[in-house]
Structure 1
């Protein structure tokens, strides 16, 4: 059943119409190029259907995502189960129920569709000053490649709490998803989104977070499966002394498109941010896209920020697009920088290993494992780390077969 087309906070959040880039030919004005200037709306009609010419869609196979441009009728394509931590599931949030919409701003059509199509948002709530020892694991299982689902998920860590929430996607579906993350003052939250979909799944997600004073968010995007997977995280370091660590890991096979457009906004003073995404690609037409935008605002004095993307291309026919961007509106910062690199195996590393009696095939395996394990080990969740390392080994076995 479709939801109402009005959002509770639409009056304060809505910034009218479709991305101007889509109207350049007719309207004759310069398209929006920076992430901070993009328009937003909770009404999908304000965006229209992307053409692929818009700045935020030009690296995306929009035809394959087309099923997500309209609200799901039955909305029965994904089953949601708490594997652990079910006691932290609060009552569902309808449009107008706080804190739904406190942070979230739909900035493209799939996010607006997910907002409208989700009549009851899942709400994961960590009580004030509670430290949750074990990860809260939510399994999201697709029920078929022809099944549609829209979802809005709110993860809220109250003041001085600590927790880890894992969203694990498997199976197949056509899935438009929003994840709204609220980290209150002094809280420490880790959110991990794992995409291990079947090869015919289509998934577009907008993750948006606000981090309060002296609070910390660690955010991970791990994409190993799916036909088209587009997970775009946006984090606002709003409070003084807030910290954001955004990490990503992807492994694209033949025919897969794995994408993340990352936005880190330093808004408060003395904030710290670190962005590191790594990807490996193998097989004909394997494609990854990483676009990283960092904005250091005028009031973000004392900021320390860095973003980087590294890609390892394992076979011919694979392609990685990597675009880092940095905006600085104040000169009073500790440091800021960005980097991007895409390449093949390091011949010196391979020579070093082979000179010590290791076969070329095993040397390549060790290089890839060393490259990707850096991100896996930052998770701090032993069971998930073991699972992901096994998945990497499986991917490597296929490329060497």
Structure 2
């Protein structure tokens, strides 16, 4: 199945939203929603690193995922049991595939063009439940994957999508939240040090439904998880949360897009990260678009980075587009800095050694996101993993 929103030929400047005007022949994309989208990798030009969606990424490190042949066979998947959550494999032709969104870059399109079957995680029932889906043993060969998480109307669940072991993976994850449903999805990256993971998440939220989407990136050499949320119907609500800890030589990237496309929708975006070690890198780009039909919108996005050592780099770029004046509120914030000297002084003045004081400050900084997951066991395990990151083990 191939779907393109504009054309199935090689994209032109016009297809990417570029329009001539008096300042010159080409200008950047006018509106975030105008970006070219297609399920066919051939519709995208080869990646050079100069494209708007790739200019912060180490594209040479994953050229095999953007241009090479990918193994689209079933991944090795294990899952915990939970009443009301069923896993199955569905064919490419299934009508649910493509309902949440379409690829906007070549890696996502390559994965979409390559997968054989999609993993369906179907959620039903109004009782709260938790299920963990683990992908492991993927090896070092480039692979493709496609996952559909479908929450039936008025259902409730927490779904953890976890990656461990070695991987060179390009994937798409579609999240369809039915009317009145309340769904939490945690994307947990705990790959080995040399792994590469490029993921695009697409979510569609129906009337009066709520999605809490949490990205936790700890392991992997290059991890790029880009969540895109479409608040398609009145009363939709999304909390997009992220947590990352970048070590020496590690590149962790998130490009977040929230599209308010209906009246009285709400979004909160909060991503927090820490960086330590030479060459540690993080990239966060947050796009919020409030469409002309999205009256009464309430939106806010923020990104905070804590720099622990010299030799690190954090790029943080919030963007906000508003096409209607009738909104409840909208804003964005970004900050990158070192330890708060006053906090350290306060703790040391009470007899706490400097190393322990630094650990407590970082722990408190990152715990804000961890504590919103809603699963005590997972929260405790992640805090222990962050402790290990701080100690460099």
Separation in 1 of the partners of 2:15 and 2:311? 30
| Distance 1:393-1:324 versus aligned 2 partners, 3 A rule | same
Deviates more, 1:167-176 or 1:71-80: 71-80
TM-score (structure 2 length as normaliser): 0.93
Aligned-residue offset at 1:181: 0.5
Cα displacement string for residues 295-331 of structure 1 (whole angstroms, at most 9, x for unaligned residues) = 0110111111000000000000011000000000111
Does the 8 Å contact 1:71/1:116 carry over to 2?
A: no
Match of 2:123 in 1: 126
User: Which structure is higher in helix share?
Assistant: 1
8 Å contact from structure 1 (residues 111, 176) kept in 2? yes
Residue segments in structure 2 that go unaligned for 5+ positions in a row: 19-23
2:242 is aligned with 1:248: yes
Gaps spanning 5+ residues in structure 1: where? Answer: 1-5
Counterpart for residue 260 of structure 1: 254
- Per the alignment, residue 159 of structure 1 pairs with 153
What is the rounded CA distance, in whole Å, between the counterparts of 2:132 and 2:29 in structure 1? Answer: 38
Structure 2 SS opposite 1:20? coil
Q: CA deviation at 1:87?
A: 6.8
| Greater Cα shift, 168-177 or 95-104 | 95-104
Aligned pair in 2 of structure 1 residues 47, 218: CA closer, same or farther (>3 Å)?
same
Report the equivalent of 1:239.
233
Distance in 2 (CA, whole Å) between partners of 1:11 and 1:284 is 41
From 214, 219, 223, the equivalent of 1:225 is 219
Matches within 5 A, 1:128-147: 130-144=125-139, 146-147=140-141
Matches within 5 A, 1:155-304: 155-304=149-298
* Rounded Cα–Cα distance in structure 1 between residues aligned with 2:13 and 2:59: 17
Structure 2 counterpart of 1:20 = 13
Aligned to 1:355: 349
2:364 corresponds in structure 1 to 370
Q: Distance in 1 between matches of 2:334 and 2:77?
A: 36
Aligned to 1:105: 102
**Aligned partners of 2:14 and 2:342: how far apart in 1?**
45
C-alpha deviations, 1:122-181, integer Å up to 9, x for none? 111113xx135331110011432x222101100011111111110011111110010000
Aligned residues: 387
- Change in 2 beyond 3 A, CA 1:67/1:12: closer
Match in the other structure for 1:58: 55
The offset of 1:33, in angstroms, is 5.7
Aligned position for 1:69: 66
Q: Give 1:12 shift.
A: 5.7
Offset of residue 285 of structure 1: 0.4
Q: Cα deviations across residues 42-69 of structure 1 (Å, max 9, x unaligned)? A: 1111112211111111000000121101
Mapped to 1, the partners of 2:30 and 2:248 lie a distance apart of 31
Supply the distance in 1 between the matched residues of 2:305 and 2:12 (Cα, whole angstroms): 30
SS at match of 1:398: coil
What's the counterpart of residue 21 of structure 2?
none
1:22 and 1:53 in contact (8 A); partners too = no
2:365 aligns to what SS in structure 1?
Answer: helix
- RMSD over aligned Cα atoms: 2.1
Asked whether the 8 Å contact 2:36–2:104 carries over to 1, the reply is: yes
